Amino acid sequence: MALGIYDTVLDTVGDTPLIRLHRVGGPERARVLVKLESVNPGGSIKDRIGLALIRAAEADGRLKPGGTIVEATAGNTGIALAQAAAVLGYRSIFVVPAKMSQDKIRLLKAYGAAVEVVPDVGRDDPRHYHRVARQLAESIPGAAYMGQFEAAANPEAHYATTGPEIWAATRGDIAMVVAGAGTGGTITGIGRYLKEQNPAVEVVGADPEGSIFTGPPVHPFQIEGMGEDYIPETLDQAAVDRWVKVTDAEAFRMARALAREEGLMVGGSSGAIVKVALDEARRVTREGYVVAICPDTGRNYLSNIFAEEGDTEGPRWS
Ligand code: PMP
């Protein structure tokens, strides 16, 4: 195929850029690089696992032509799967928690997916989104549950792509990587890969206040996509050196600052991760870059994070 021409949109996933910061934070920003996953065609890092989850289900015979993809998702995995389902000719149904933004629900529907919204309840409640999705998959003939919280294909996709991209782009000049964890697939895959290249690379997890990785106490929080109330199978704690707590307010303030001061339109989890990356960059002694993995686009949050009043700080020059 000619250079610059792709067979399908799925062939454009990955190879995302590392971008320097110029205004947010203090002088420590000089060593921070943002890995901008919003440039994936579905707008998030989850594009990397969408096709991988589908291929794994096809390979073990659970998903056949004409079948239906079912998943529990806080949005981005759904968008990635819906995008891949459209290309590959599958139907898709997603079960989402009520706190998920309307923007993301509309996106799923725009890709042709069906969406079921369930209340924000704990895992022991039968209305929990994971449980509802699993049940749906069992009750619909030809349906397959993707299981991003259990599937080895999830961390493997990051081990195979995200990790090597960071190592190659920094030429190994990396002191630390900061990521969030929902399924833990990102931090596990990247962490394993980078530590194999150089065990001295520090792997730091940014975690919303209220999430289990820095809890207890575990309680609800507003940041979407990262933080959990249980330890998922797809997270390998051995790949993570430390977890750092971050509040909803800190995360959303940073997300808004990244848009206004850096032109980086990213979501609340990205805000949380960059906040932690800047704090860590101030005290890390090893030479090398601090890479912040920014999982998704701020366009997912126009109706919540970017519609909020009360953060009236202008850009630095105003
Ligand atoms: N941020 C956002 C916005 C996400 O959608 C996700 C995926 N749930 C994450 C962070 C965390 O990624 P992972 O599931 O690979 O831990």
Domains of the chain by start residue, with CATH: 9-44+152-301 (3.40.50.1100), 47-145 (3.40.50.1100)
Q: Give the contacts of 171 (CB within 8 A, at least 6 positions apart).
A: none
- Count of CB atoms situated within 10 Å of the CB of 269: 31
HSE toward the beta carbon, residue 166, CA cutoff 13 A: 37
pLDDT of 43 above 60: yes
Q: What is the pLDDT of residue 52?
A: 97
Spatial distance between the Cα atoms of 72 and 65, rounded to a whole number of angstroms: 21
Q: Report the atom number in ligand 1 closest to the C-alpha of 186.
A: 15
Spatial distance between the Cα atoms of 183 and 231, rounded to a whole number of angstroms: 8
The percent of the chain in helix, strand and coil, each rounded to the nearest 5, is 40, 20, 40
Q: What are phi and psi of 117, to 5 degrees?
A: -95, 130
Atom 7 of ligand 1, residue of closest alpha carbon:
225
More confident of the two residues 264 and 316: 264
Pocket test for ligand 1, best of 35, 76, 300 (most atoms within 8 A of CB): 76
Rounded to the nearest angstrom, the distance between the alpha carbon of 216 and the centre of ligand 1 is 21
- Tens of pLDDT, residue by residue over 53-108, are 999 999 999 999 999 999 999 789 999 999 999 999 999 999 999 988 788 899 99
Rounded to an integer, the average pLDDT of 30-43 is: 98
In terms of DSSP H, where are the helices of 149-184? Answer: 153-157, 163-170
CA angle 289, 240, 129 (to 5 degrees): 115
Spatial distance between the Cα atoms of 178 and 84, rounded to a whole number of angstroms: 28
180 lines ligand 1 (CB under 6 A): yes
Q: Regarding beta strands 143-145 and 174-180, do their DSSP bridges make them parallel or antiparallel, or are they unpaired?
A: unpaired
**Full-model pTM:** 0.94
Nearest CA-CA partner of 68 in 44, 94, 42, 48: 94
Pocket test for ligand 1, best of 96, 226, 248 (most atoms within 8 A of CB): 226
